[in-house]
Amino acid sequence: MGQTGGGSWLQGRVAVVTGGGSGLGAATALALHRAGARVVVLDADAGAVQAAGNDQGLVAYHADVSDEAGIEALFSLIEAQQGPVSVLVCCAGIATPGAVVRKGAPMPLEEYRRVVEVNLIGTLNCVRCAVPQMINHRADDQAEAGGVIVLTASIAAEDGQVGQAAYAASKGGVAGMVLPLARELGDHGIRVMGIAPGVFSTPMTEGLPERSRAVVFSAVPPFPKRAGQAGEFADLVLAILANPMLNGTTIRLDGALRMPARL
Ligand SMILES: NC(=O)c1ccc[n+]([C@@H]2O[C@H](COP(=O)([O-])OP(=O)(O)OC[C@H]3O[C@@H](n4cnc5c(N)ncnc54)[C@H](O)[C@@H]3O)[C@@H](O)[C@H]2O)c1
């Protein structure tokens, strides 16, 4: 294993997973826990936070990633109680669809703002709070990694569909910050990667209204001809951690799916 991921580097290190109460984040939190990390889940769903604590035995906090002061305070608390953060995986997100014009009227700007606030600003909010801990606690051995950050974009960043103006823009923003962050943080031994999932079977997609759900799952990739499973996302996070040459790019995890303008 490389200098960052494998068993020894990850053992006992603090790994924060936002959106870790459900879907891709929950699978990642569990995989990191099994790999020996001290996992901390942040999630806006109080029930999911409780379940992560009670059922999975993880440290979990109720949090809104878009809350500037709240996230700052929480990362200080994590540092004090669990130790400095070495791994950050940002999975928290919302997928509120909506046309920009509805029956001739403009969409409420608040809808757009909230999607961008959670998916894009919420991601940077957690990154900015995790990075100082990675820098300040980097080992004296400068060959060793200071930390690894994995951001969750979406294939909508490239294949945004009708009704995804807000979601696609927010995910395009996430993908767009990966390289500049990797360049900025490289001197501190911190790698930054993005994952752009295709269609995955999670509460986000399963919870859509029946018609939208049928539409989303009708987008069958060339191979494998099915939706992705959350564990396959978690596997890629572990692969990124293990491979020190993966840095500054966003990997599409989609079975070669390319979304049409509308389904
Ligand atoms: N499932 C897919 O097909 C798919 C495809 C592409 C991208 N993604 C992205 O992957 C990520 C995870 O999606 P998922 O499918 O696991 O969804 P999910 O709904 O199962 O999980 C998302 C989690 O984020 C939490 N969350 C939402 N807003 C939050 C906030 N403001 N603060 C903290 N937590 C918040 C939710 O409570 C939930 O537990 C999202 O960013 C999503 O946009 C998912």
197 lines ligand 1 (CB under 6 A): yes
Which residue's alpha carbon is at the smallest distance from atom 40 of ligand 1?
93
Give the pLDDT of residue 213: 81
The 10s digit of each residue's pLDDT in 25-69 is: 999 999 999 999 999 999 999 999 999 999 989 999 999 999 999
Instruction: Determine the pLDDT at residue 1.
Output: 40
Whether the bond between 224 and the residue before it is cis, its omega within 30 degrees of 0, is yes
- Encoding tokens for residue 225? 């001809």
pLDDT in tens, the chain (263 residues): 445 645 589 999 999 999 999 999 999 999 999 999 999 999 999 999 999 999 989 999 999 999 999 999 999 999 999 999 999 999 999 998 899 999 999 999 999 999 999 999 999 999 999 999 999 999 888 888 899 999 999 999 999 999 999 999 999 999 999 999 999 999 999 999 999 999 999 999 988 778 778 878 888 899 999 999 999 999 999 999 999 999 999 999 999 999 999 87
Give me the torsion for CA of 241, 242, 244, 250, rounded to 10°: -50
- Ligand 1 pocket member 152 (CB < 6 A): yes
Q: Where are the alpha helices (DSSP H) in the chain?
A: 7-10, 23-34, 46-54, 68-81, 109-116, 122-136, 156-159, 165-185, 203-206, 210-217, 230-242
User: pLDDT value at position 6?
Assistant: 53
From CA 71, how far away is CA 133, in angstroms rounded? 14
Ligand 1 centroid – CA 133 distance (Å): 25
Distance 94 CA to ligand 1 centre (A): 6
Query: Mind listing the domains of the chain with CATH numbers?
Result: 7-253 (3.40.50.720)
CA-based end-to-end distance of the chain: 42
What pLDDT, on a 0 to 100 scale, did the predictor assign at position 114? Answer: 98
Q: Which of 24, 27, 32 is nearest to 199 (CA)?
A: 24
For ligand 1, mutation pick of 30, 67, 91, 208 (most atoms within 8 Å of CB): 91
pTM score: 0.97
How far does the centroid of ligand 1 lie from the alpha carbon of residue 95, in Å? Answer: 8
For residue 78, give both structure tokens.
Answer: 């994590």
pLDDT at 217: 84
Distance 64 CA to ligand 1 centre (A): 12
Pocket test for ligand 1, best of 30, 43, 259 (most atoms within 8 A of CB): 43
- The catalytic position among 9, 112, 167, 200 is 167
Ligand 1 binding pocket includes 28 (Cβ within 6 Å): no
167 is catalytic: yes
pLDDT of residue 184: 98
Using only C-alpha atoms, what is the Rg of the chain? 18
